[in-house]
């Protein structure tokens, strides 16, 4: 068995809607494309909103080994070879505690992610007083509830706690809360510097507005979708999921 070749380029790729289809299967030709590029020294950096354990599980269908994971949209960055957490941005204690308390009192369900650990908190009983401990080390808070209740409650929560945080609302009763510094592009810069790969030799691909900074940071950018998200209109190339494998091959050839 031979060692893998030296890293010559990075493929910074989103998972869901990009490398992986809605049925959780790899998109057409992507397994073969990633294997061929890996053999030439172009290594995968997984850039996803998923937690680490979920990203590791999802990547199994791609039959490849990434050199780094960028999880929670950049709040957690892990180097695979060493297992070192290069970055872990947590929500300030006061904000985490306040958001959780208010959300539970309103009647929302709260899911907390402490690093890679997950725990659920059910809404408070009507009129019940909450005695929450200070919530330190929280990477992500997910608030869920009836869409109408979430839409009604979000402005008040945002007005009180949004400063310094990233609060994303999907319009379907789910609010995702992260440290304000969570950013895929910034995380990619950290990984590239760690691995001594110039950003000009980084190919990035993504399918949604959450990937915009990722694509702006990389030397070569590919927007994925049919049609791609309008926020990614600045990408160097726009392809459907079925065309991604060939687009990655072409992009890698341009870096030779």
Query: What is the pLDDT, as a whole number, of residue 124?
Result: 75
The yes-or-no verdict on residue 3 having pLDDT over 70 is: no
- pLDDT at residue 174, rounded to an integer: 96
The three-state secondary structure class of 107 is: coil
* pTM of structure: 0.93
- Tokens 């304000």 belong to which residue? 180
Q: What is the pLDDT of residue 1?
A: 38
State the pLDDT at residue 79: 97
What does R_g of the chain's alpha carbons equal in angstroms? Answer: 19
Domain 9-88+182-254 has CATH 3.40.50.1000: yes
- The angle subtended at Cα 89 by Cα 105 and Cα 49, nearest 5°, is 80
Q: Which fold has domain 93-179?
A: 3.30.1240
The residue among 203, 172, 235 whose CA lies nearest residue 41 is 203
Residue 195 DSSP SS3: coil
pLDDT in tens, 58-115: 999 999 999 999 999 999 999 999 999 999 999 999 999 999 999 999 999 999 999 9
Instruction: Assess whether the previous peptide bond of 121 is cis (omega < 30° from 0).
Output: no
Provide the b/e sequence for 118-150 (b: ≥16 CB within 10 Å): eeebeebeeeeeeeeeebeebbbbbbbbeeeeb
The model's confidence at residue 127, banded by pLDDT at 50, 70 and 90, is: low
pLDDT score, position 132 = 81
- Count other Cβ atoms within 10 Å, centred on residue 239: 20
DSSP reduced 3-state for 224: strand
What pLDDT does residue 253 have?
A: 86
What 3-state class would DSSP assign to 83? coil
Q: What is the pLDDT of residue 200?
A: 97
Output the pLDDT for position 255: 80
Confidence of residue 149 (pLDDT cuts 50, 70, 90): very high
Delimit the CATH 3.30.1240.10 region(s) of the chain.
93-179
- What is the C-alpha separation between 46 and 176, in angstroms, rounded? 20
Give residue 92's Cα distance to chain centre. Answer: 20
Delimit the CATH 3.40.50.1000 region(s) of the chain. 9-88+182-254
Whether the pLDDT of residue 160 is over 50: the answer is yes
Phi, psi of 86 (to 5 degrees): -75, -25
Strands (E) located in 81-233: 85-88, 109-114, 117-121, 140-144, 165-169, 174-179, 202-206, 220-224
Tokens 């009192």 sit on residue? 105
What percent of the chain has pLDDT above 70? 96
């Amino acid at each position: 068995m031979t060692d893998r070749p030296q890293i010559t380029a990075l493929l910074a790729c989103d998972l869901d809607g990009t490398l992986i289809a809605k049925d959780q299967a790899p998109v057409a030709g992507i397994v073969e494309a990633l294997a061929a590029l890996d053999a030439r020294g172009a290594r995968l950096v997984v850039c996803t909103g998923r937690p680490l354990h979920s990203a590791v599980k999802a990547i199994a269908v791609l039959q490849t080994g990434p050199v780094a994971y960028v999880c929670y949209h950049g709040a957690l960055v892990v180097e695979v070879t060493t297992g070192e957490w290069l970055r872990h941005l947590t929500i300030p204690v006061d904000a985490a505690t306040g958001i959780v308390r208010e959300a539970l009192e309103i009647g929302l369900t709260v899911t907390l992610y402490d690093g890679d650990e997950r725990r659920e908190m059910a809404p408070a009983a009507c009129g019940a007083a909450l005695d929450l401990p200070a919530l330190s080390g929280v990477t992500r808070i997910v608030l869920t509830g009836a869409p109408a209740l979430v839409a009604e409650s979000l402005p008040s929560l945002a007005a009180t706690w949004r400063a310094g945080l990233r609060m994303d609302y999907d319009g379907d009763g789910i609010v995702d809360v992260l440290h304000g510094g969570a950013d895929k592009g910034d995380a990619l810069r950290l990984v590239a510097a760690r691995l001594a790969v110039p950003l000009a030799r980084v190919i990035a691909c993504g399918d949604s507005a959450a990937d915009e900074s990722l694509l702006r940071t990389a030397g070569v950018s590919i927007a994925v979708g049919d049609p791609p998200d309008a926020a990614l209109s600045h990408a160097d190339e726009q392809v459907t999921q079925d065309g991604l494998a060939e687009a990655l091959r072409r992009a890698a050839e341009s870096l030779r």
